[in-house]
Amino acid sequence: VIMTVTSTIDGAADRTQSIDVTDFRTGGTTAIGAGESATLNFDELGLSFTVNTNFSASVATIRADNTGASDFGTDTDFNGSGLDSAAGNVVTMAADNGQQLANSIEFQVGGGNTANDRLSISLTSVDSGTLGTGVGGTETALNDATVDIATAAAAQSTVEVVTRAIDDLQRARAAVGTSQNRLDFAGQNLASTQENTESARSTLLDLDVAAEMTAFTSKQILVQSGVAMLAQANQMPQNLLRLLQ
């Protein structure tokens, strides 16, 4: 029993992945028990299904039927997922529902809330619809319609399209490399700032032993001198009484 998921972007099938779910049938090696669940991973699409014991029963029913008339569930729509074995066990994933890649990404690299404290990186599409269109995006894109080597003239035109596509790809890679260098420089600058801040903090908080010992010795000498002078002052009245006697 093969389960297939097709990702659909902007209404067109983009990528398909199939996995074998035969072992999930009731009595199979990976059958799901009561109260248990399992995850079906379609890693190429970034999609996963969490299923319970009802899925094992559905697989067993489909495997026993083997006519394509059954489906994973009680009707032709598996809990609203669109999975219908009568249509080949295919799920259509709406991949463009808020999941489109942003045109630019911003990184906070400073301590303020200004444009200078943020690093913006623009992203360039490098799919078959854009490669070959050139800097202005007005040339012919690289696709099945433009790649033609049936004749010498068509092959020459194809070489030009492929060359422009390579240039477009190199420009996109160069832009990514430039952004990586800027991020690396920003990271090094932040690391240097952090090190300087920690050094200043250490200077403010840590004890300067030599300076403190010097101050302690100075205060100690002053205290001892004061005690000695006080002792001499206490002896003056005694000396005066001796003279009077």
The CA distances from residue 90 to 8, 10, 38, 149, in Å, are 12, 18, 19, 35
pLDDT for 75 equals 46
Q: Which is more confidently placed, 71 or 180? A: 180
Tell whether 238 is covered by a domain.
Answer: no
- Which tokens hold the place of 99? 């999941």
Check pLDDT > 80 for residue 27. yes
Using pLDDT thresholds of 50, 70 and 90, give the confidence band for residue 74.
very low
Tell whether 53 is covered by a domain.
Answer: yes
Tell me, yes or no, whether 194 and 110 share the same domain: yes
Q: Could you tell me the pTM of the whole model?
A: 0.43
pLDDT for 134 equals 75
Tell whether 234 is covered by a domain.
Answer: no
Query: What total number of domains does the chain contain?
Result: 2
Tell me, yes or no, whether 78 and 116 share the same domain: no
pLDDT for 16 equals 78
Residue range 85-118, pLDDT digits in tens: 455 555 555 545 555 556 778 888 877 888 888 8
Q: Which is more confidently placed, 86 or 176? A: 176
Check pLDDT > 70 for residue 80. no
Check pLDDT > 50 for residue 73. no
Tell whether 229 is covered by a domain.
Answer: no
Which of 94, 115, 147 is where one domain is finished?
94
Residue range 126-163, pLDDT digits in tens: 777 778 777 776 677 777 667 777 788 878 878 888 88
Residue range 204-226, pLDDT digits in tens: 777 677 777 888 898 899 888 88
Residue 142 sits in which domain range? 104-202
- Which tokens hold the place of 17? 């992945």
Q: Please provide residue 91's backbone torsions phi and psi, each rounded to the nearest 5 degrees.
A: -110, 130
* Pairing of β 37-42 and β 47-52: antiparallel
Check pLDDT > 60 for residue 10. no
Check pLDDT > 50 for residue 60. yes
Check pLDDT > 80 for residue 52. yes
Tell me, yes or no, whether 22 and 79 share the same domain: yes
Tell me, yes or no, whether 87 and 10 share the same domain: yes
Check pLDDT > 50 for residue 79. no
pLDDT for 76 equals 46
Using pLDDT thresholds of 50, 70 and 90, give the confidence band for residue 81.
low
Tell me, yes or no, whether 185 and 110 share the same domain: yes
DSSP assignments along the chain, one per residue: -EEEEEEEETTEEEEEEEEE-GGGSTTSTTPPPTT-EEEEEETTTTEEEEEEHHHHHHHHHHHHH-SS---SSSSSSSTTS--BGGGTSEEEEETTSS-PPPSEEEEE-SSSSSGGGEEEEE----STTTTTSTTTT-S---STTT---SSHHHHHHHHHHHHHHHHHHHHHHHHHHHHHHHHHHHHHHHHHHHHHHHHHHHHHHS--HHHHHHHHHHHHHHHHHHHHHHHHHHHHHHHHHHHH-
Per the prediction, the chain carries an average pLDDT of 76
